[in-house]
Amino acid sequence: MFADKLKYMQGYVRVRLAGYAPERFLNLCANHDILIWNLLYREDHYEFCISIKGFRKLRPILRKTKTRIVILQRYGLPFALYRYRKRKLFFGGMAVCMAALYTMSLFIWNIDVSGNLHRTDSAIIKFLEEKHVYHGIRKSKLDCVALEELLRSEYEDIIWASVKIQGTRLMIDLTENLVSNSAGETVVEDTPSNLIAAKDAEIYSIITRRGMPLVKKGTAVKQGDLLVEGRIPIYNDSAELVNYQYCYADADILGITSYTYQDVFPLAYEDKVFTGEEKNSYELLMFQKQFRLPFGENDFAMSDTFSRSLPLKLGESFYLPFVLTKKVAKEYRMEPKIYSKTEAETLAGNKLKDFCEKLEQKGVQIIENNVMIVADGKICMASGEIKVIEPVGIRQAGVVEDIQADDIQKEGQETNESDGNDN
């Protein structure tokens, strides 16, 4: 394959050989290292391919073997160039193309970020843009080493960064420090805080890991009530308050709460019926300016429009400033309809089911469902109460009260005074 390309680039001819001793000619060619290929015997002559360079060396061999040679066909680039030598614009275009290719290769056309788990690609690319590293920057303006340092100093959790240029791509390899991320969370736990009730509930279970529990199983609490206190009182032997120890309250508190469910809808409704009529229109967003392409005007009385945007991009992340939007307008009309009793009940049932599923997705366990669905006359009504078990504790930052020092001091003064009075 490669040899064929090379032969084409160098140019070759297909020739016909006839005369007194063609076999001797062939042997002499081999001895003179002249390559001959696709050698074929015809009735009274031979046909073969030979490179231009080889062809020029044939004259003495031809004379020696008393053979004659006729060129049948010319192949290859040198002949093509010669044939099209007058097509100046073609050669000009080729030169311009080469120049354009070279010029384009001087810029960065794609920034590839890999190895990032917590930081998104777009966040890093945005940060780079702020530091004047963007799609389309001159390669010569880039300092990869400085960029690596910049990334490491900006993001604390990036512990290793490698920036290299591959062709017109800027490859950024990162390694994030996963250990420091989890360490960051533990630091927060040092600040004292309490757990309070998020809503009115009856405590279902409470498991305290740290802090002072103030409620028991079965206690009814109101929203905002303190459940676990992060301040642990310390008493001395005579049951006097000596000091407080502050901690980050931590507990699993489940409470029974109830949700009121109310859903009323009329049995008469209007239904959207699509007529099947559609119209397509196109818009072009160019350099932040919207251009409407002049066809496919929407003249429906009522219609839904579905848009689909196609941003033009080179590579994965280099977006050109053009966005083509296709809009499909679908005509519809409203038709009055009435739900039957069973239809209305299934609809209400489905809505209730959706509501319950949404609750369960939040990690809530439903224990009682007392919702009644009634459809009569003109409306369908679903109402009732859903009892659930859910986590009720929310965190509230605790206040470190530095009272004990004052109290002790005051107490001390009081005793002194009393002593003085006695004396």
Which residue in the block uniquely carries the two structure tokens 């080889």? 54
Dmax over Cα atoms in the chain, in whole Å? Answer: 153
Of 51 and 281, nearer to another protein (C-beta) is 51
Comparison of 41 and 91: residue with beta carbon closer to another protein: 41
Specify whether the CB–CB gap between 36 and 29 falls below 8 A: yes
CA–CA separation, 296 vs 279, rounded Å? Answer: 6
Residue 31 binding another protein, by CB under 8 A: yes
Q: Establish if 340 lies at the interface with another protein (CB under 8 A).
A: no
The answer to whether residue 36 forms part of the interface with another protein (CB under 8 A) is yes
Structure tokens belonging to residue 58: 């044939």
Contact window for another protein (CB under 8 A) among 30-38, 112-120, 124-132, 350-358: 30-38
Where b means 16+ CB within 10 Å and e means fewer, 389-415 reads bbbbbeeeebeeeeeeeeeeeeeeeee
Of the pair 42, 164, the CB lying nearest another protein is at: 42
In whole angstroms, the minimum distance from the beta carbon of 71 to another protein comes to 19
Angle between helices 121-130 and 144-154 (to 10 degrees): 110
Name the strands in the sheet holding 12-19, side by side, starting at the edge strand that comes first in the sequence: 46-51, 12-19, 67-75
Q: How far is the CB of 25 from another protein (least distance, A)?
A: 10
Q: Out of 21, 39, 97, 320, point to the residue binding another protein (CB under 8 A).
A: 39
For another protein, give the closer residue by CB, 18 or 394. Answer: 18
Interacting span for another protein (CB under 8 A) from 21-29, 267-275, 378-386, 405-413: 21-29
Question: C-beta of 159: minimal distance to another protein in Å?
Answer: 58
330: tokens are 């679908």
Select from 364, 302, 297, 373 the least CA-distant residue to 342.
373
Instruction: By CB under 8 A, name the one of 4, 33, 190, 419 that touches another protein.
Output: 33
- Give the count of residues interacting with another protein (CB under 8 A): 15
Contact 66, 100 (CB under 8 A): no
Residues with Cβ < 8 Å from 167, sequence gap 6 or more? 105
- Which listed residue (6, 9, 40, 338) binds another protein by CB under 8 A? 40
Residues 48-77 that bind another protein (CB under 8 A): 48
46 forms part of the interface with another protein (CB under 8 A):
yes
Give whichever of 43 and 297 is closer to another protein, judged by the CB atom.
43
Residue choice 5, 9, 38, 123 for contact with another protein (CB under 8 A):
38
Q: Give the span between the Cα atoms of 112 and 170, in whole angstroms.
A: 6
The answer to whether 21 contacts another protein (rule: CB under 8 A) is no
DSSP-assigned beta bridge partners for residue 306: 328
Residue 219 identity (one-letter amino acid): T
Binding site for another protein (CB under 8 A): 23, 26-27, 30-31, 33, 35-41, 46, 48
